[in-house]
Structure 1
Amino acid sequence: MGVHMTAPTRRAARGATVTATTRISPDLIRLSFTCPGIIGADLPYTDHYVKLLFVPEGADYSWPYDLAEIRDTRPREMHPVTRTYTLCNIDTVAGTFDIDFVIHGDEGLAGPWAMTASPGDQIAFAGPGGKWSPTPDYEHFVLAGDEAAAPAIVEALQQLPAGTTATAYIEISTDGARFDVPTPASAELVWVPREGAVHGSRLIEAVRAGGYPGRKTSWFIHGVAEMVKETRRFLFVDGDVDRADVSISGYWRLGMTEDQWQASKREFAEAMEADEAASAALS
């Protein structure tokens, strides 16, 4: 869970070892990891992510390996395949973290791996990266996303600054797919079941229904690209929300693998911004 795109990195890979697997909902498996490489790391954000590195079938190497050396000496089809996931429950003293994986049966790469993973299995990753967290210069936070963004939303709820409030919208497949979300008394959690609707469509309906808070608000909106496009229109075209108050991006796109989405993401963003500018000029 928490799939989203990042630019290719030359950062060295680190290794993590599975210590436990937990089914936290019908759609989600949580893998717990130990990773000495993050002990003492400065990880101040609530949206920290890693790029898991899957060695392609037929490759002549396995972990541990030098990521830069592999990329310099092997053909592209033999490079590790990346899938980006948000971390949760990070402990930089013990060197542990969790990752939640959305399960689609045998579909995809990371999900099937997570379904068969067991304690002792190892995976390499690049990162962590991250850049957002709730800060005390805001009074209220609106957090919205699907299963991919839920780990970052849950982390943000646990780190709300004193005296602030939040409304969190989490989209799930059905009402029976809820999972445990520790929610402070100052926050409202709104579950948004798809129940067969297109990913993101019910979520933007819920965010729109919530309107524009009357307090100084920070927005954290992430998930499927189509939802992000509509939410940006709600914020920047229909509303008068300052872009500096918004963290928003598509973690994934319907019908695309991560590699396909990453390759087309800039073009999608440019077209979206042009459409918003044209709409604003007409208003």
Structure 2
Amino acid sequence: MTASLPHSKADEADSPSRVRRVRHEIKKRELSVVAAESITPNMRRITLAGDSLEDFISASFDDHIKLFFPGEGEAPAMRDYTPRAFSNAERRLVIEFAQHGDGPAASWSAAAQPGDTLTIGGPRGSFIIPTDYDWHLLAGDETALPAIARRLEELPAGTRAIVLLQVAPADRRPLASQADVMLHWVDSDAALLDAARALTLPAGEGYAWCAGEAQTMAAMRQILVEEKGHDRHAIRAAAYWKRGTAHHHENLG
């Protein structure tokens, strides 16, 4: 599902890599759950709907929207999640939730059913990575799986993609793509980093994107830039969570 990009303002290029940022008007939307399913033992797919999605914008596969969950006090608990898919015409938005821990997002998504409501905000902006690089490296853990799955669906035929995914065997699933995909599943942080070290990066202009646990992603970036010599302007590394911290999101460069 795709959408046009109305009401967005392009900024200057982020780097010589042709990546660009766009900013969007921030808007809160009150949505209703229309479908909830467990697509693997530890991943829930929630489909939300509402007329306010008519002008929803998500221009990049790793956009983040703010989800507002009921908290114990007056203030809601807020978490960042990737729009997995959306349709302006159908007024629908799909979000996938990894079911680990007992935080507000995992608890809400585990119990969600049609008729429930959820408030979302954003995305604030998009970091648009062109699809016409000679190759793409996508790496991360289960929290990055929705973004990686969306990106693979966006890549055109003839594109080369290398994917490193740390996901439990029970939660591994086919990932659709027209691209030529080399997919490696691994079981641990250490195995993910070892897989990166074992890579021979292809020739040509490539872009690396990685997201997951903070310390692991910092190490991943170091491996790719300092050990492999990958262009520091052609990588985006993000901490989607941090071990021992309840709520963490950070861009690592």
Coarse TM-score class (shorter-chain normalised): 0.7 to 0.9
Of 239, 244, 253, the match for 1:255: 244
**Matched residue, 1:39:** 54
**Matched residue, 1:84:** 80
What are the within-5 Å matches in structure 2 for residues 148-227 of structure 1?
A: 148-173=143-168, 175-184=169-178, 186-194=180-188, 200-227=189-216
Deviations 1:8-65 (Å, cap 9, x if unpaired)? xx94421111111111111111111113222133432111221111232243xxxxxx
Is residue 183 of structure 2 the alignment partner of residue 228 of structure 1?
Answer: no
3-state SS in 1 of match to 2:59: coil
Higher relative contact order (CA 8 A, sep 6+): 1
Distance in 1 (CA, whole Å) between partners of 2:33 and 2:51 is 12
Count the aligned residue pairs.
229
Aligned CA-pair RMSD: 2.2
Percent identity of the aligned residues?
A: 29
**Matched residue, 2:3:** none
The alpha carbon displacement at 1:102 in A equals 1.3
The alpha carbon displacement at 1:137 in A equals 4.0
Query: What residue identity is the alignment partner of 1:20?
Result: A
8 Å CA contact 1:134–1:160 kept in 2: the answer is: no
8 Å CA contact 2:157–2:180 kept in 1: the answer is: no
The alpha carbon displacement at 1:255 in A equals 1.1
Distance in 2 (CA, whole Å) between partners of 1:179 and 1:136 is 23
Structure with the largest fraction of helix: 1
8 Å CA contact 1:46–1:130 kept in 2: the answer is: no
Q: 1:135 to 1:56 in 2, by over 3 A?
A: same
Which structure has the larger Rg over C-alpha atoms?
1
Distance in 2 (CA, whole Å) between partners of 1:161 and 1:119 is 34
Structure with the largest fraction of strand: 2
Is residue 92 of structure 2 the alignment partner of residue 96 of structure 1?
Answer: yes
Distance in 2 (CA, whole Å) between partners of 1:117 and 1:90 is 19
Query: What residue identity is the alignment partner of 1:188?
Result: M
Distance in 1 (CA, whole Å) between partners of 2:184 and 2:129 is 18
3-state SS in 2 of match to 1:153: helix
3-state SS in 1 of match to 2:126: coil
What are the within-5 Å matches in structure 2 for residues 82-161 of structure 1?
A: 82-104=78-100, 107-161=102-156
Gaps of 5+ in 2: 1-24
8 Å CA contact 2:208–2:234 kept in 1: the answer is: yes
Deviations 1:41-96 (Å, cap 9, x if unpaired)? 3432111221111232243xxxxxxxxxxxxxxxxxxx322111111121122121
Distance in 2 (CA, whole Å) between partners of 1:122 and 1:130 is 24
8 Å CA contact 1:32–1:96 kept in 2: the answer is: yes
Query: What residue identity is the alignment partner of 1:193?
Result: D
Query: What residue identity is the alignment partner of 2:180?
Result: S
**Matched residue, 1:68:** none
The alpha carbon displacement at 1:136 in A equals 4.0
**TM-score by structure 2 length?**
0.82
Distance in 1 (CA, whole Å) between partners of 2:141 and 2:157 is 26
**Matched residue, 1:64:** none
What are the within-5 Å matches in structure 2 for residues 17-36 of structure 1?
A: 17-36=32-51
3-state SS in 2 of match to 1:151: helix
3-state SS in 1 of match to 2:197: helix
Q: 1:162 to 1:104 in 2, by over 3 A?
A: closer
Query: What residue identity is the alignment partner of 2:99?
Result: I
